[in-house]
Amino acid sequence: MAEPLRVGLAGLGTVGAGVIRLVEANAALIARRAGRPIVVTTVSARDRRKKRSVDLAPYTWDDDMVILGERPDVDVVVELVGGADGPALACARATIEAGKAFVTANKAMIAHHGLELAGKAEAAKVALKFEAAVAGGIPVIKGLREGAAANAIERVYGILNGTCNYILSTMEDTGRDFADVLREAQAKGYAEADPAFDIEGTDAAHKLSILAAIAFGSRIDFPGVDTTGITRLKAADIAQADALGYVIRLIGMAEAGDGQLFQRVQPHLVPFDHPLAHVDGATNAVVAEGNFSGRLLFQGAGAGEGPTASAVVADLIDIARGEIGAPFSVPVAELEAMEPAATGHRQGRAYLRFMVADRPGVLAEITAAMRDAGVSIESLIQKGRAGDAGAVMVAMVTHEGPESAVAEAVRLLEGSDSLTEPPLVLQILGE
């Protein structure tokens, strides 16, 4: 058997411990599949004295994660520290400059610095891999980069944040409100103490920007993702969607065409008969539509110790097998710089929800705005007080039409003292 692939591991939190456990538990089968053993030689984390759930005695400790790649006993560095910049980025740069391979689960860093790092890795002819950065244990980067490689991908979309999906499917199952379910998710460890990154959609936007680059051969454009989180959703929205035949899911969606890149993270109404409507709890799922493959769906655990470690070690096995390749499927220099797409002409159906004062004429005001903006209403429901003192909920679904018309209707109602909060507009996921 060939020489082992020696891993320097930076970061010993949940996923880091999972990587150690996986490499130990599945050592024999990994060696068979990789053609050589994969062994962790050196570990690094911020606090050496912190109690860990795995025994670190077999491993060399190095206080400085940044220089792990310069050690002679390390062939590849696995970075599980997180953060777009700081030590993670310094570690990535130093590793690649030292001519070693680099594996990470750090979506923020790849979304912000992936092109720079990929360019450096290509120049150094070393692997840069980040399967665990998107959709946890689901091999969707490999699925797009290799499995669907023969296709022009027309659209990629999916459920990319397990915390949001857990919250939304729990709201759906229990009828409880957002803030309430969020508190419970935090208590159970499904949501961070500071949940903004997840619930504002930023985490999903990081992942979407990475998927889009691989799917379309475009340069990563994280700032170009139009991002809305799930914080404004009410239990009444979920109930209303259900009555209309939909669930609500936070969907990240990207399309490319005419040199333009459309990227949006937003809660969507998803029809009951769509595969994504059955993705519950912390599960993630990604759909890619290829011009020959048709619709491909990849689904699985979006986070957690085991699944994320599974993706990290899959990257290590690829590296041990000598499979390197361009991190974004094509060389960085060949990635196309695309303009963010204009969205006004996009056709679709939308869900609009208004919280309004309970007095005569409000419905007429809203429907007049729709008429004046050219929005055609398919169905409308006015509900008595939905919890908020004095406010009444008006929800509607539009016929297919341009997004610009809906935006215009909302603009016409801006500043109206009939509305107790700004309208909520969600797209309805089409076929």
Q: What amino acid positions are annotated as catalytic residues?
A: 207
Which CB sits closer to its own copies, 290 or 423? 290
Strands 246-257 and 260-271: what pairing? antiparallel
Which CB sits closer to its own copies, 20 or 392? 20
Distance separating alpha carbons of residues 348 and 60, to the nearest angstrom? 57
Which CB sits closer to its own copies, 263 or 310? 310
Report, in Å, the least distance between residue 93 CB and its own copies: 25
DSSP H or E segment with residue 266? strand 260-271
Question: Roughly what angle, to the nearest 10 degrees, separates helices 14-25 and 27-34?
Answer: 80
Report, in Å, the least distance between residue 19 CB and its own copies: 9
Residue 304, class by beta-carbon neighbours within 10 Å (0-12 exposed, 13-18 middle, 19+ buried)? Answer: middle
Binding site for its own copies (CB under 8 A): 18, 22, 25-26, 29-30, 32-35, 131, 137-139, 142-143, 146-152, 217, 273, 275, 278, 285, 290-301, 304, 306-307, 309-314, 316-318, 321, 323, 325-326, 329-330, 334
Distance separating alpha carbons of residues 353 and 299, to the nearest angstrom? 31
Residues 18-38 as b/e (b if ≥16 CB within 10 A, e otherwise) read bbbebbeebeeebbeebebbb
Distance separating alpha carbons of residues 142 and 211, to the nearest angstrom? 11
Report, in Å, the least distance between residue 290 CB and its own copies: 6
Instruction: Give me 159's structure tokens.
Output: 């459920």
Which CB sits closer to its own copies, 195 or 327? 327
Which CB sits closer to its own copies, 26 or 416? 26
Which CB sits closer to its own copies, 146 or 242? 146
Are the beta carbons of 267 and 249 closer than 8 angstroms?
A: yes
Which among 22, 16, 13, 10 is positioned nearest to 317, based on CA atoms? 22
Distance separating alpha carbons of residues 177 and 348, to the nearest angstrom? 28
Report, in Å, the least distance between residue 151 CB and its own copies: 6
Report, in Å, the least distance between residue 137 CB and its own copies: 4
The DSSP code for 229 is -
Residue-by-residue DSSP string for 1-47:
-PPPEEEEEE--SHHHHHHHHHHHHTHHHHHHHHSS-EEEEEEE-S-
Which CB sits closer to its own copies, 213 or 394? 213
Report, in Å, the least distance between residue 210 CB and its own copies: 16
Distance separating alpha carbons of residues 238 and 230, to the nearest angstrom? 12
Which CB sits closer to its own copies, 321 or 385? 321
Report, in Å, the least distance between residue 35 CB and its own copies: 8
Question: Roughly what angle, to the nearest 10 degrees, separates helices 305-320 and 14-25?
Answer: 60
Question: Roughly what angle, to the nearest 10 degrees, separates helices 362-373 and 403-412?
Answer: 140
Report, in Å, the least distance between residue 213 CB and its own copies: 13
Residue-by-residue DSSP string for 161-186:
-HHHHHHHHHHHHH---HHHHHHHHH
DSSP H or E segment with residue 270? strand 260-271
List all residues 6 or more positions away from 280 whose beta carbon is below 8 Å from its beta carbon: 165, 169
Give me the phi and psi of 46, to 5 degrees please.
Answer: -65, -45
